[in-house]
């Protein structure tokens, strides 16, 4: 069973990896073969040609070092012990084993590489000392050079592994960053779609409600009644209101289209261009013309943050629109109270309790009107309360923080 570590898997890298391993294997074979050819020492158990067979085996192991790094390390160790056991020409330990030690360390087997190197050095040093070799040369030169070469091979391999893991980590981070950006973009898109939906509901819906009410009055005035004459002045006045409300609704609809076509933060685009307490008088006038007596108390004051100003206007607009649609009210009161850091907007009507909050009579729960208001208020960090008033009527109250709402 392969102990594959992090061998290359990408097709465009596999060919390069094979070439590198083949060159490394040839280098190992050449270095060992040169040492053998130098004829340092020699033995009688096997002919010299067998030594080149060991050199070739050590080189061939490099072809599978990525797939089986631990196996290659252990096989190299066994070959070296066997090589010296049969008394072939001396080739040292560090050079033949350096590539295997590097490969094991580079592919996640650093502890095995260190342990194997220690075993090779310990066994070789002990055997040669028992054979009576000069300890000064053995320990003062041979041991130091062998440890240095083996240690460098392991260190280089571990460094390559760490660089490879760092590169993979950077790739994973880049993927996560891209996913996070995509999620943030999708979230921004969803928020923008929700904002446009609220704007259409609040602004265009308000104008259509006014159109519907005035149209109903005009139809009643134009109905033929055998016992009465047609009330043309009333019908004409109502149709004038219809015309005005339709133009305002079309203007807001065009603003929304411009907001969709251009940058969302471009000045002068979107429904927020007309959404603000500065336009509250126009809103109240249109509601009064529809037959609802509206009284306004207080004001937002100067220097309102843009989002808080627009949210306050939308709350009043939606509350009055719901009153026109559902409450069967005769009057409504709008109260604006600004205290330190907070703007409170309260809209109260005298209609049928429980029907002015955006739900038609008989419906349970909140309609889209109240839900939209809650979303708007929550976006600026505020709170909204809505419910029946004891004794009759319905009240909507929003508290909007002014400190840094954007």
Q: Give buried/exposed letters for 334-351 (b at 16+ CB in 10 A, else e).
A: bebebeeeebbbbbbbbb
Cα 319 to Cα 389: distance, rounded to the nearest angstrom: 14
Dihedral sign (CA 188, 321, 207, 245): negative
The more confident residue out of 334 and 324 is: 334
Residue spans of the domains in the chain: they are: 11-133, 275-406
Cα 135 to Cα 268: distance, rounded to the nearest angstrom: 91
Cβ neighbours for 290, distance < 8 A, ≥ 6 positions apart? 209, 210, 213, 214, 241, 324
Instruction: Give the pLDDT mean for 220-238.
Output: 63
Q: Is the pLDDT of residue 335 over 80?
A: yes
Instruction: Give the pLDDT mean for 247-258.
Output: 69
Q: What is the pLDDT of residue 178?
A: 82
Q: What is the pLDDT of residue 42?
A: 45
Q: What is the pLDDT of residue 43?
A: 46
Instruction: Give the pLDDT mean for 71-78.
Output: 88
Q: What is the pLDDT of residue 10?
A: 60
Q: Is the pLDDT of residue 288 over 70?
A: yes
Q: 275-406 in CATH: which number?
A: 3.30.565.10
Q: Share the mean pLDDT of the chain.
A: 77
State the pLDDT confidence band at 341, using cuts at 50, 70 and 90. confident
Q: What is the pLDDT of residue 127?
A: 80
Residues 148-197: tens digit of each pLDDT = 888 888 999 899 889 988 988 888 888 877 877 887 787 777 777 777 77
State the pLDDT confidence band at 399, using cuts at 50, 70 and 90. very high
Q: Is the pLDDT of residue 293 over 80?
A: yes
């Amino acid at each position: 069973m392969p102990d594959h570590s992090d061998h290359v898997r990408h097709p465009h890298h596999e060919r390069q990896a094979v070439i590198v391993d083949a060159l490394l294997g040839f280098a190992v074979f050449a270095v060992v073969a040169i040492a053998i050819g130098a004829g340092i020492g020699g033995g009688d158990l096997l002919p010299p040609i067998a030594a080149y067979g060991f050199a070739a085996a050590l080189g061939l192991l490099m072809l599978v070092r990525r797939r089986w790094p631990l196996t290659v390390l252990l096989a190299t160790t066994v070959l070296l012990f066997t090589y010296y056991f049969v008394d072939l020409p001396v080739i040292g330990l560090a050079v033949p084993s350096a590539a295997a030690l590097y490969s094991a360390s580079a592919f996640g087997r650093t502890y095995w590489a260190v342990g194997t190197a220690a075993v090779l050095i310990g066994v070789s040093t002990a055997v040669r000392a028992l054979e009576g070799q000069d300890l000064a040369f053995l320990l003062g030169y041979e041991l130091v050079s062998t440890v240095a070469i083996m240690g460098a091979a392991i260190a280089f391999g571990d460094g390559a592994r760490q660089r490879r893991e760092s590169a993979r980590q950077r790739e994973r981070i880049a993927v996560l960053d891209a996913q996070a950006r995509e999620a943030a973009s999708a979230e921004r898109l969803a928020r923008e779609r929700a904002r446009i939906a609220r704007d259409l509901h609040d602004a265009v819906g308000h104008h259509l409600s006014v159109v519907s009410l005035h149209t109903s009055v005009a139809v009643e005035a134009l109905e033929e009644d055998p016992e009465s004459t047609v009330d043309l002045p009333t019908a004409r006045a109502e149709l004038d209101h219809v015309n005005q409300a339709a133009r305002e609704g079309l203007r807001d609809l065009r603003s929304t289209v411009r907001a969709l076509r251009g940058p969302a933060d471009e000045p002068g685009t979107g429904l927020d261009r007309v959404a603000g307490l500065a336009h509250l008088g126009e809103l109240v006038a249109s509601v009064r013309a529809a037959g609802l007596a509206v009284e306004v108390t207080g004001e937002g004051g100067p220097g309102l943050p843009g989002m808080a100003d627009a949210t306050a206007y939308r709350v009043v607009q939606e509350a009055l629109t719901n009153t026109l649609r559902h409450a069967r009210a005769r009057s409504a009161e709008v109260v604006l109270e600004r205290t330190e850091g907070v703007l409170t907007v309260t809209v109260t009507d005298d209609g049928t309790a429980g029907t002015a909050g955006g739900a038609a009579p008989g419906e349970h729960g909140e309609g889209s009107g109240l839900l939209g208001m809650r979303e708007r208020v929550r976006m600026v960090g505020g709170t909204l309360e809505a419910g029946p008033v004891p004794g009759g009527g319905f009240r909507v109250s929003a508290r909007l923080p002014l400190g840094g709402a954007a």
